Amino acid sequence: MKQIKILGTGCPKCKTTVANALEAVKQSGIEAEVIKIEDIQEIMAYNILSTPALVIDETVKIKGRVASVEEIKTLLIQ
Amino acid sequence: MFDWIQQFADWLIYDTIGIAAHSKLGEALNFFVYDSLKILFLLFLITFLMGIVNAYFPIERIRNFLSRNQLYGGEYLLASSFGALTPFCSCSSVPLFIGFVKGGIPLGVTFAFLITSPLVNEVAIAMFIGMFGWKSTVVYVISGILLGVVGGMILGRMRLEPLLSEWVQNLLKQAQREEELEEEKKSLWDRLPEVAREAFGIVKSVFWYVIIGIGIGALMHGFVPTGFFERYISRENPLAVPLAVLMGVPLYSNAAGVLPIVQVLVQKGIPIGTAIAFMMAVVGLSLPEATLLKKVMSVRLIAIFFGVVALCIIISGYVFNLIL
């Protein structure tokens, strides 16, 4: 099972990303859990400078912008 | 450059809908159509151009450059200019702050970046061009960058490291130069759809603020007599600038909506310096950002940070009133 983490301190953009990730999982039918990380110390462990960031299986895939449903689906299939 | 939009507005309001050209309603409606189209067009154009620039200077590269190079004071100017170039989201200010600290970048330089980043952003620039023209925009951008440099230098001198949160101070001790990072290699062409989508997203997110702001502005434009506000906020009133700054701080998220009103205030007689100071306070000092910063620094440091920036804004407001 894949694991998607959305890093963000709770801004509107982060919420959109979470919604997009859930939608992408639903549409692709791939088994994956979506976890929201809001703790800043935990976020900084991924060494990113801008949020929201999308992490799949502990690798930062997208940072600083909202990832679209299509994009997340493509990343999930890889 | 915007004649075609004016022609369209004239055609729509006067010819098609048929409202008399010199009636108050006609003027207000015409102004509303013209201004909203112009601003939305500029917003998309500027965010798109900034997106392209950003594809070349991602924030990670800027941080690593500042982390690896000693510039003998030049780093303040560089950090501040980069702050102007990067898009700002208050939710990114904390990760950014920590990222800079971890890279061993001095606190003052980090502050220089943090001051300019919201102050000179794509939305503010686009709206400024649309409402006050190119010349005022250049003045605004340059003074925003200078404000970041001066504010950063003052804050850097104050040795504020002990006022950071404990876990941040620990990070400070382990700070190290950033390694060269591997970047995704993507041609500009490949990135364009992404950049355009981002630009569209930004325009969409401020759309209603702009429309409502311009709507109120249009009403004032048509119905409030010239010189009306001047009676209350005149050039001679020495307290006008600080008051404008104080009023601006709580208005953060409505920056896109506030500027159209500021424009009308200027047309109706408020000095441009006071208006710019107000605008800088609206976009540069935001309470949501202050709340977020509490995670990395003490309330006292936030107060010092905001105090220094507010002071710099007030001073530049007076300077603008003198020179513009």
Query: Under DSSP, is residue A2 helix (H, G, I), strand (E, B) or coil?
Result: strand
pTM to 2 decimals?
0.83
Does the N-terminal peptide bond of residue B162 adopt cis geometry, omega within 30 degrees of 0? no
CA B38 – CA B259 distance, rounded (Å): 14
- Smallest Cβ–Cβ distance between B198 and the set A9, A52, A65 belongs to A65
Q: How many A×B Cβ pairs under 8 Å?
A: 50
- Name which of B260, B264, B193 is nearest B229 in CA terms: B264
Candidate list A6, A7, A14, A24, residue with the active-site label: A14
Q: Domain spanning A2-77: which CATH class is it, in words?
A: alpha beta
Provide the pLDDT for residue B304: 95
Domain boundaries, given as residue ranges, for chain B: 23-173+191-323
B182 pLDDT band (50/70/90 cuts)? low
Q: Which residues pair with A34 in a beta bridge?
A: A4
CA B50 – CA B121 distance, rounded (Å): 9
Mean pLDDT estimate for chain B: 83
Please indicate whether residue A14 is annotated as part of the active site.
yes
Q: Is B99 part of the contact surface with chain A (CB cutoff 8 Å)?
A: yes
Q: Do B60 and A49 touch (CB under 8 A)?
A: yes
- Smallest Cβ–Cβ distance between B95 and the set A12, A13, A44 belongs to A44
Q: Looking at the complex, report in whole angstroms how far the Cα of residue A3 sits from the nearest Cα belonging to chain B.
A: 22
Q: Do A64 and B59 touch (CB under 8 A)?
A: yes
CA B77 – CA B62 distance, rounded (Å): 13
Please indicate whether residue A42 is annotated as part of the active site.
no
Q: Looking at the complex, report in whole angstroms how far the Cα of residue A43 sits from the nearest Cα belonging to chain B.
A: 8
Per the CB < 8 A criterion, the answer to whether B40 and B207 are in contact is yes
Per the CB < 8 A criterion, the answer to whether A54 and A17 are in contact is yes
CB atoms within 10 A of CB B195: 19
What ipTM, to 2 d.p.?
0.77
- Smallest Cβ–Cβ distance between A51 and the set B91, B197, B296 belongs to B91
Domain boundaries, given as residue ranges, for chain A: 2-77
pLDDT tens digit sequence for A9-68: 777 788 889 999 999 999 988 889 999 998 888 888 888 888 889 999 988 888 888 888
